[in-house]
Amino acid sequence: MRRTGSLKSTILWRLVPGLIFFVVSTGIISYILSSQQLKSNAYANIYDTVSQTKNYLNDRLELLLSAVVDLSKDPDLTQILIRADDPGFEQQPNDYIVLKKAFDQIYSKDYYDMVDSVVLWYNEGTIAIQRTDYMAHESNFQAGPYLNRAASGSSTIFWNNLHQRDISYISESGSNVASVFQWIGRDRANPQGVYLVNIKEQFFRKILLSPRISDNGSLLLVSPDGVMRFKPVSEQFEIDEKQLQSDLLEAPGLFGRLDMKSRNGSKMVVIYDTIGANRWKIAALFPEDELLRKVNYIKYMNFLVILGAILFAIIFSTLLANYITKPIRHLTHQVNRIEEGNLNVLFKQWPQQEMTVLNKGLKEMVERIKALIRQVEEEQDTKRRIEISLLHSQIQPHFLYNTLFSIKQLYDMGETKDASKMITALSTFFRISLSKGDEVITIASELEQIQTYLFIQQMRYGKAFSYEIDVDPDILPCSIVKLTLQPIVENAIYHGLKLKPEQGLIRISGYTDDEDIYFFVEENGVGMTPEKLKEITEGLSDGSQTKTGFGTVNVHKRLQMYYGDGYGLQYQSELGKGTLITIKIRRVPGQPISTGGDITT
């Protein structure tokens, strides 16, 4: 048989997975789309930052480069340099004025925040002039490193990354500068002098530290002679600068992206561009995890939102299922009570129209069932009364026949006095048997009747047997189906004691265990064989009178009809030792004890 679940579980098993699938799939899709968009936006922002910084630097450096080129083309300055080729050259006061005017162009407002100092060195120091805003020591400028710079292509202009300043100031304000310089001389392969412009470190520091890449991300400038970076980073994100320099200078294209590893193995991203003025690389270096921190934040928030939505879906589904199934569960509970036989059920009113219809229908059905049960109970009670009356009526003629036959024998033998006593006892017996038509009498009345019966039987059989009655007085007011003991005692006399040569004994006892009452009819007659005992036991079970005799089955059936299947007779017997009959009835309080008169002995 296929096992079915409750309506609530059915709703939950179909609704909750669907809601969870919808929430999870929606959350995953939204996370993927949003994370991709955030990642794209993050990279785009860094590309923009690098590009804008590159453009700004390129504009400023190109202006400075133009100023250097203009300086080298100044006609007055050129004339001074030509004169300096003469071995007897001596600078004139006017030469200083010309040089100052030329250098002042470099110190205009367009370059003031950039220029640290300007140097002109020519013809073995014949002309060695420096211009700075600080008090400087006597010039000790070493031109060799600049003049010996390896040429690249046809350009005579070169750039140096941050390095120690070649000019010593009396009042130091920073010792590192970057430089742009141009060779001077007719022979490019053998320059005679150099124009040098030193650029302030602070100029680059301000530009490279202004944009915020990430907590451990930074902007840097890479050239063949070094790496310029100012922002300190955590140790785990430190990178090999020489490797970075090599990778950037060898990178294909003017701009792009490189992936590297820090010294501790963290993944680092390099986004770079190229400054047109000097072909330096400007790059943004940052840990990928920090760039994607917002993506991870979105991931965790999305997970929490999905989890919250799942919990909401479960709670909502449970509440909805409860709302739908609560009236149905109530009806189911009432139906189960009806199945258990309890028709006193309560039907609540529900707001749902369908439940109102079901309530009304079930309530009407219960009322019809009650009416049918009352009708069946009345019919069954009538039937039971008729059957008990029939069984009872069958006992009375049987006993009456035997007693009348005994009275006839007494009259035949002339024992009229004894016959009269038997007739009196017989009338008492039948008076109690009639009991105004009641089927049930008190145990006291039943014992009075059995005493009358035993008196009659002793009149018939003389000294063939004796009897004892020992019954707990507490059970005397209780009820019993009348004529329960008489057929049992009769069978004990006829089938047990009558066949015994010596005098026998019948002992009747009774007690209660608060719920049931037990009577024991014990006789020490001839007893039964095991086969006969089995036959009687089977006869009581299947109601066969041919195996057990009419009286025994009759009593057993009446007790079971009145008290239930668990009650009735039970036989125990051993051949030559006698028989014990146990009578079990339910304890039912009865009417006050009413005796039926004195027994004549």
What is the full DSSP assignment across 314-351?
A: HHHHHHHHHHHHHHHHHHHHHHHHHHTT---------S
The mean pLDDT of 49-73, rounded to a whole number, is 90
Residue 455 confidence (pLDDT) above 60: yes
Residue 415 confidence (pLDDT) above 50: yes
Task: Report how many helices (DSSP H) and strands (DSSP E) the chain contains, helices first.
Answer: 15, 17
Q: Give the pLDDT of residue 386.
A: 63
Residue 170 confidence (pLDDT) above 80: no
pLDDT digits over 116-144, tens only? Answer: 888 888 888 888 888 877 665 555 678 88
Q: Does domain 55-288 have CATH number 3.40.50.1820?
A: no
Q: Give the pLDDT of residue 351.
A: 66
Contact 425, 450 (CB under 8 A): no
Q: How far is CA 566 from CA 389, 423, 433, 571, in A?
A: 22, 38, 26, 15
| Token pair 């030792």 in the structure block, residue | 577
Three-class DSSP labels, 269-317? EEEEEECCCCCCEEEEEEEHHHHCHHHHHHHHHHHHHHHHHHHHHHHHH
Residue 190 confidence (pLDDT) above 70: yes
DSSP annotation of 593: P
Residue 478 confidence (pLDDT) above 90: yes
Higher pLDDT pick, 561 / 401: 561
pLDDT digits over 2-27, tens only? Answer: 455 566 677 777 777 777 787 788 87
Average pLDDT, the chain: 81
Q: Give the pLDDT of residue 595.
A: 38
For the chain, give the percent of residues with pLDDT over 90: 23
Residue 119 CB partners (closer than 8 Å, separation 6+): 129, 130, 131, 141, 166, 167, 194, 195, 196, 197, 198
Q: Give the pLDDT of residue 279.
A: 92
Q: Which of 460, 472, 552, 464 is nearest to 508 (CA)?
A: 472
Q: Give the pLDDT of residue 500.
A: 83
Q: Give the pLDDT of residue 383.
A: 67
Residue 57 confidence (pLDDT) above 90: yes
DSSP letters along 36-75, please? HHHHHHHHHHHHHHHHHHHHHHHHHHHHHHHHHHHHHT-H
The mean pLDDT of 530-541, rounded to a whole number, is 87
Q: Give the pLDDT of residue 510.
A: 94
* Confidence grade of residue 487 (pLDDT, cut at 50, 70, 90): confident
Residue 390 confidence (pLDDT) above 80: no
| Token pair 């010996």 in the structure block, residue | 148
The two tokens of residue 77 are: 């300055």
Residue 429 confidence (pLDDT) above 90: no
pLDDT digits over 339-350, tens only? Answer: 776 767 666 666
Q: Give the pLDDT of residue 246.
A: 93
Contact 159, 197 (CB under 8 A): no
Q: Give the pLDDT of residue 348.
A: 66
Q: Which of 205, 194, 42, 50 is nearest to 114 (CA)?
A: 205
Residue 562 confidence (pLDDT) above 80: yes
Q: Give the pLDDT of residue 346.
A: 67
The CA distance from 107 to 489, in Å, is: 147
Q: How far is CA 193 from CA 82, 88, 147, in A?
A: 12, 18, 7
Q: Which of 483, 485, 509, 480 is nearest to 588 (CA)?
A: 480
Least confident segment among 326-330, 416-420, 512-516? 326-330
The mean pLDDT of 61-80, rounded to a whole number, is 86
* Three-state SS at 477: coil
Residue 591 confidence (pLDDT) above 60: no
Q: Which fold has domain 377-586?
A: Heat Shock Protein 90 (3.30.565)
The mean pLDDT of 469-487, rounded to a whole number, is 90
DSSP annotation of 483: S
Burial (CB count within 10 angstroms: exposed 0-12, middle 13-18, buried 19+), residue 149: middle
pLDDT digits over 287-333, tens only? Answer: 988 877 766 777 777 778 878 888 887 887 777 777 777 777 777 77
Q: Give the pLDDT of residue 548.
A: 57
Q: Give the pLDDT of residue 310.
A: 81
| Token pair 């039937």 in the structure block, residue | 383
Least confident segment among 210-214, 319-323, 390-394, 444-448? 390-394
Residue 594 CB partners (closer than 8 Å, separation 6+): 442, 444, 445
The mean pLDDT of 154-173, rounded to a whole number, is 77
Q: Give the pLDDT of residue 1.
A: 42
The CA distance from 95 to 79, in Å, is: 10
Pairing between strand 226-228 and 157-164? unpaired
Q: Which of 521, 508, 524 is nearest to 471 (CA)?
A: 508
26-32, long-range: CB within 8 Å, 24+ apart, which pairs? Answer: 27/302, 27/303, 27/305, 27/306, 27/309, 30/302, 31/298, 31/299, 31/302
The CA distance from 440 to 435, in Å, is: 9
Contact 61, 275 (CB under 8 A): yes
Q: Give the pLDDT of residue 155.
A: 79
Contact 178, 227 (CB under 8 A): no
The two tokens of residue 91 are: 């600078």
| Residue spans in the chain of domains classed CATH 3.30.565.10 | 377-586
Burial (CB count within 10 angstroms: exposed 0-12, middle 13-18, buried 19+), residue 210: exposed
Higher pLDDT pick, 402 / 408: 408
| Residue spans in the chain of domains classed CATH 3.30.450.20 | 55-288
Residue 375 confidence (pLDDT) above 90: no
Q: Give the pLDDT of residue 270.
A: 94
The CA distance from 479 to 585, in Å, is: 9
Residue 524 confidence (pLDDT) above 80: yes
Residue 237 confidence (pLDDT) above 80: yes
The two tokens of residue 206 are: 């301000």
